[in-house]
Chain A
Amino acid sequence: MSRHEDMVRVATEVAPIPRDEDGAPVFREPWEAQAFAMTLALHDQGLFTWTEWAAALSAAIKQAQASGDCDDGSTYYQHWLSAIERLVRDKGIASEQALASRRDAWDRAAHATPHGQPILLANDPLR
């Protein structure tokens, strides 16, 4: 349970991470936990250092603030996700265009999936 502590510590130096009374991270929606877990996994793979992560998160938050983010903590993991996207792009793993076209594929897949069924990328009619 302590694997996340380094990440939480560096993130908190940038901006306080939402936590419960026991100090554990709190997620309001499942995707927030997914984004959190993806960052841990990518760091474990050696894709970036925590210093690089802190810089990317800080840049994402500054950019959001400049474009009028409400800055009340409710958008915290949106900035978090932007930071991962930024790092993935800077490291040459996936371009902005690759992410955008994959996003569209998921959108088509969702619309082609009957309600209540698992949404799979294979459901994209254009795939």
Chain B
Amino acid sequence: MGHDHHHDHDDHSHLSEIELRVRALESILVEKGYVDPAAIDALVETYEVKVGPRNGAKVVAKAWADPAYREWLRADATAAIASLGFIGRQGEHMVAVENTRDEHNIVVCTLCSCYPWPVLGLPPVWYKSAPYRSRAVLDPRGVLAEFGVHLPETTRIRVWDSTAEVRYLVIPRRPAGTEGMSEEALAELVTRDSMIGTGLARQPEAVR
């Protein structure tokens, strides 16, 4: 199957109609001196931290609640995520990696700042920072500690390096004491950082 989201131009890029309009407008405004592209980037960055990863939280909550969906997500995350209506614009593939007692996953993009924004919104500023990008690979346990995540020594940490073609979504461990909770309630426990791997899902007490 492979690139089936990327129908007609497998090796070429594609911009959606709305992205074309935004680029057309911005490039003309920049040329005429009305807009400074650096200022736009800076403004966008200001709001990046405010973006809620609601789509991803729905995906994870469904995976927790529905074993068949979880299997599908692990086998073909692109299709399983698309089934909920969350589709990337550039045909990037999604891979879901699941945290267990023995293994913890963390996502980084060492080359640039590839990020699964259809499910997680815009990336946080730290995700794009050089220190995170290099240290997540060299010292993931140290990076996790700085995020307040302390895992047992017996838990293996796997680091996933995103590319332009493959984006990773971490399925955090479902917290104890959440049996019988609805998908909507479970989604409240799923934080952005828990889906990057730099955090854990919230405990149910924390959201009551």
A-side interface residues toward B, CB under 8 Å? 1, 4, 20, 22, 24-31, 33-38, 40-42, 45, 47, 78, 81, 84-85, 88, 93-94, 98-100, 102-103, 105-107, 110-117, 119, 121
Q: Which are the 8 A-B pairs with shortest beta-carbon distances?
A: A116-B164, A37-B43, A102-B24, A24-B50, A103-B24, A113-B13, A110-B15, A31-B22
Q: Which of A93, A116, A117 contacts B32 (CB 8 A)?
A: A93
How many pairs of A and B residues are in contact by the CB < 8 Å rule?
Answer: 138
Bound Cα distance A4, B28 (Å): 23
Name B117's contact: one of A4, A29, A84, A119 (CB within 8 Å).
Answer: A29
Whose C-beta in chain B lies nearest to the C-beta of A113?
Answer: B13
Q: Which residues of B contact A26 (CB under 8 A)?
A: 50-52
| Shortest beta-carbon distance from A98 to chain B in Å | 7
- Please determine whether A113 and B12 come into contact, CB atoms closer than 8 angstroms: yes
- Complex: A51 Cα to B28 Cα, angstroms: 24
Of chain A, the residue at the smallest CB distance from B42 is: A37
Q: A99 contacts B21, CB within 8 Å?
A: yes
* Cβ–Cβ contact B27 & A110, under 8 A: no
- Using known A-B contacts A30-B44, A30-B122, determine if residue A81 contacts B13 with beta carbons closer than 8 Å: no
List of A residues within 8 angstroms of B26 by Cβ = 34, 38
Q: Is the CB of A93 within 8 A of B29?
A: yes
CB distance from A120 to the nearest CB of B (A): 10
The CA of A93 and the CA of B21, in the complex, are separated in Å by 15
Judging by beta carbons under 8 Å apart, are A106 and B117 in contact?
no
Residue of B whose beta carbon sits closest to that of A33? B44
B34 CB within 8 Å of chain A: yes
Q: Which residues of B have CB within 8 Å of A31?
A: 18-19, 22
A29 to B32, CA, bound (A): 26
Q: What 13 new A-B contacts, CB under 8 Å, besides A26-B52, A81-B21? A: A28-B55, A31-B22, A34-B22, A37-B39, A41-B39, A41-B43, A81-B25, A94-B32, A99-B28, A106-B27, A107-B15, A114-B12, A119-B13
Which residues, 27 to 62 on B, are CB-close (under 8 Å) to A? 27-29, 32, 34-36, 39-40, 43-44, 46-48, 50-52, 55
Confirm or deny: B163 has a beta carbon within 8 angstroms of a beta carbon on chain A.
Answer: yes
Max chain A Cβ within 10 angstroms of own Cβ: one of B20, B55, B91: B20
Neighbouring B residues of A47 by C-beta, 8 Å = 34
The reply to whether the CB of B150 lies closer than 8 angstroms to some CB of chain A is no
Q: Which residues of B contact A121 (CB under 8 A)?
A: 23, 27
The one of B14, B47, B163 that contacts A27, using a Cβ cutoff of 8 Å: B47
